[in-house]
């Protein structure tokens, strides 16, 4: 459904833009119809940048993004409007998506003005009520209220209801539950799982929470410094992590069945910098075991079906 092909994002930084910051580097992956894919990585790994490029909130530096076989990289005007009819985003801070001086349901009015001006008032009211009920909200309790009068969970559901009104097919969910309380988090995840099952909604689930990604997605993408280091079926990555960074992430998750010790996460104490080599070289406990580590950033290979990893020391990992 949605495909990224060698997408990069480069920012010019420093005095007069004399230096480059490569936030995303040659990222390629695909999200199929009715599929949930988790994009996992620590802060600064480029997760949100990828989400913003998909939503065309920022431009890409190179590569292409296509939706249902159509290149939307340079989409403008009517073509871009049609794209937003099918692709929507929900973000980490629900309050930032609303203007506090307008009532929250103004987002529905904007949808109607832009996409459904011909729909009559009665029919539109019915559509809004149906969309709200589909996301577990009582229209009588939430309509005509200002954002500060609603909880974060209710505002997130409002945004999902907006996507339903647009009959969206693809949703970028960027850390959408990190600011919600525990009881609301699972409700929002279950809601999106129901929409996936009943309406065929595809979701790119941007997160740093490994447990939620395991719970919610069929496939997972591990991102480090803007590079994909591991990608595949979620179960295979979690049961058999192959990249040293993925293993570090897994070992960092606290467990109730045993005591955590610093030794559970093996990071090299040496200081190494490799500008041409592997992007994980300076932190990798296996660095130096293969001379290629210092020479090139490895490409993705497929050691098993449905599981790819970018590591020069793959044999040492096993």
* Domain interval for residue 17: 2-228
Q: Is residue 233 part of a domain?
A: no
Asked if 27 and 86 sit in the same domain, the reply is yes
pTM for the full model? 0.85
Q: Could you report the per-residue pLDDT of 235-264, keeping only the tens digit for each?
A: 999 999 999 999 988 887 665 556 655 544
Q: Could you report the per-residue pLDDT of 73-92, keeping only the tens digit for each?
A: 888 888 999 999 999 888 87
The tally of domains found in the chain comes to 2
Asked if 210 and 131 sit in the same domain, the reply is yes
Secondary structure, 3-state, 9-30? EEEEECHHHCEEEEEEEEEEEE
Q: How does DSSP assign 47-78, residue by residue?
A: HHHHHHHHTTSS--SEEEEEETTEE-TT--HH
- Can you list the positions of beta strands (E) in 193-312? 202-207, 219-224, 227-233, 301-304, 307-309
Residues 163 and 88 sit within 8 Å (Cβ to Cβ):
yes
Give me the CATH number covering residue 33: 3.40.50.300
Asked if 246 and 103 sit in the same domain, the reply is no
pLDDT in tens, the chain (318 residues): 899 999 999 998 877 777 888 899 999 999 999 999 999 988 888 999 999 999 999 999 999 999 999 999 888 888 999 999 999 888 878 788 888 999 988 989 999 998 999 999 999 999 999 989 888 889 999 999 999 999 888 888 888 888 888 888 999 988 887 767 777 777 777 888 888 888 888 999 998 888 888 888 899 999 999 999 999 999 999 999 999 999 988 887 665 556 655 544 444 434 334 446 788 888 888 876 777 787 788 889 999 898 999 988 776 555
DSSP element (H, E) containing 65: strand 62-67
Say which DSSP state 147 is in. Answer: G
Asked if 42 and 102 sit in the same domain, the reply is yes
Structure tokens at 86: 């099918």
């Amino acid at each position: 459904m949605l495909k990224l092909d060698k997408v990069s994002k480069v920012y010019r930084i420093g005095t007069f833009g004399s230096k480059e910051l490569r936030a995303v580097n040659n990222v390629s992956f695909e999200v199929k119809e009715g599929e949930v894919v988790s994009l996992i990585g620590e802060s600064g790994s480029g997760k949100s940048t990828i989400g913003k490029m998909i939503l065309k909130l920022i431009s890409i530096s190179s590569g292409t993004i296509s939706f249902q076989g159509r290149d939307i990289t340079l989409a403008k005007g009517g073509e871009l409007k049609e794209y937003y009819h099918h692709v929507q985003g929900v973000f980490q801070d629900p309050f930032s998506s609303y203007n506090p001086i307008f009532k929250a349901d103004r987002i529905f009015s904007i949808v109607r003005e832009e996409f459904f001006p011909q729909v009559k008032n009665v029919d539109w009211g019915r559509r809004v009520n149906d969309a709200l009920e589909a996301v577990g909200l009582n229209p009588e309790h939430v309509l005509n209220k200002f954002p500060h009068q609603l909880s974060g969970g209710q505002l997130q559901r409002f945004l999902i209801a907006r996507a339903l009104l647009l009959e969206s097919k693809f949703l970028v969910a960027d850390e959408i539950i990190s600011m919600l309380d525990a009881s609301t988090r699972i409700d929002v995840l279950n809601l999106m799982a129901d929409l996936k099952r009943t309406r065929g909604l595809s979701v790119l689930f941007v997160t740093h929470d490994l447990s939620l990604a395991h719970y919610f997605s069929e496939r997972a993408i591990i991102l480090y410094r803007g590079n994909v280091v591991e990608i595949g079926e979620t179960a295979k990555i979690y049961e058999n992590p192959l990249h040293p960074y993925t293993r570090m992430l897994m070992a960092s998750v606290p467990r109730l069945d045993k005591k955590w010790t610093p030794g559970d996460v093996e990071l090299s104490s040496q200081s190494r910098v490799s500008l041409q080599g592997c992007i994980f070289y300076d932190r990798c406990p296996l660095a130096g075991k293969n001379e290629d580590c210092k020479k090139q950033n490895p490409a993705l290979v497929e050691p098993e079906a449905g599981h790819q990893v970018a590591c020069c020391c793959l044999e040492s990992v096993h």
